Structure 1
Amino acid sequence: MTEEQLLKQPADAYMNQAQQAFFEALLRNQRSELQVQIEAEIQVLREQEPNSDPMDIGSAEEQRQWQLRLLEREKKLLNKIDQALERLARAEYGWCRETGEPIGLKRLLFRPTASLSVEAKERQELKERHLREA
């Protein structure tokens, strides 16, 4: 099934078997690509040669810290993908964990790991912003 075919399906077909299979394949593909990327970045970190020039050392350390932050973000995304696959296995994928309402195909295509509807996510972000400002 293509994205176009997915979006043309009637509303009452939401999260039917074909749609679940589409998102499972999408998530598994993203997971595989992300694992390859993470492994390549770890290999680059392992192969970095130590420098004796203080300027090079500082620059290399800054680059290393940036790569480590990127790896951390990618590992978090990997966890989110695993959680989405678990929701698929429990037939909970595509439904807002806060309201139980459909998340929506367009949102899931944009962010396949979404567990909240747009409205619930906006409420969550507003609450977080309010707590930071308090």
Structure 2
Amino acid sequence: MTSEPNFDEIPAYIPKKKEDFMSTGQLEHFIHKLNVWRAQLVFEAETTINHIQEDSAPVSDDNDRATIEEEFALELRTRDRERKLINKIDKTLHLIGTGDYGYCKTCGIEIALNRLEARPTADQCIDCKTVEERKEI
């Protein structure tokens, strides 16, 4: 098994005075942040595959087998959510490539940098996201 790559936390981007929104520096920061996040998710998926393959030897005790199967099911559900997140990261990287990253898909205003730091895949400003979530209730 390969050793875990270094996925240290990437420090938040600190904009320079009078810096344009989604400047080259900001875009490079978010591209790096998204690529590191994606690599970490892919690494964890590969680790899960290896873990399941190595630990799937037959177990004679029904309780032990049930416990192992439940652990595997939980890991697979987690990896499925992460697979969807990888797709969202890929879409976000595409948005960066088209020049649409950082702008709300609903109203078109700039998404706050602190929101993008917290959730780099955010595609709505906080106001539009709040309205959308209220409609779901």
Aligned to 1:29: 36
Q: What percentage of residue pairs aligned between the two structures are identical?
A: 33
Report if the CA contact (8 A) 1:81-1:113 is conserved: yes
Structure 2, unaligned stretches of length 5 or more?
Answer: 1-10
Partner secondary structure for residue 20 of structure 1 = helix
1:132: which partner in 2?
A: none
Distance in 1 of aligned mates of 2:18 and 2:54: 51
- Could you state the TM-score of these two structures normalised by the residue count of structure 1? 0.87
Contact 1:7–1:105 (Cα < 8 Å) also in 2: no
Task: Give runs of aligned pairs for residues 83-102 of structure 1, distance below 5 A.
Answer: 83-102=91-110
Instruction: Tell me the C-alpha RMSD between the 2 structures.
Output: 1.7
User: Following the alignment from structure 1 to structure 2, what is the Cα–Cα distance between the partners of residues 109 and 27?
Assistant: 10
1:67-82 mapped onto 2 (5 Å cutoff): 67-82=75-90
Residue 58 of structure 1 is matched in structure 2 by: 66
Note if 1:17 corresponds to 2:8: no
Runs of 4+ in structure 1 off by over 2 angstroms are: 6-12
Unaligned residue ranges in structure 1 (runs of 5+): 130-134
The structure carrying a bigger helix percent of its residues is: 1
* Match in the other structure for 1:120: 128
Aligned-partner Cα distance in 2 for 1:9–1:128: 38
Query: 1:66: how far off?
Result: 0.5
Structure 1 residue 11: Cα displacement: 6.0
TM-score (norm 2): 0.85
Separation of aligned partners in 1, 2:94 and 2:15? 26
- What residue in structure 1 maps to residue 119 of structure 2? 111
Shift of 1:12: 5.4
The alpha carbon displacement at 1:43 in A equals 1.2
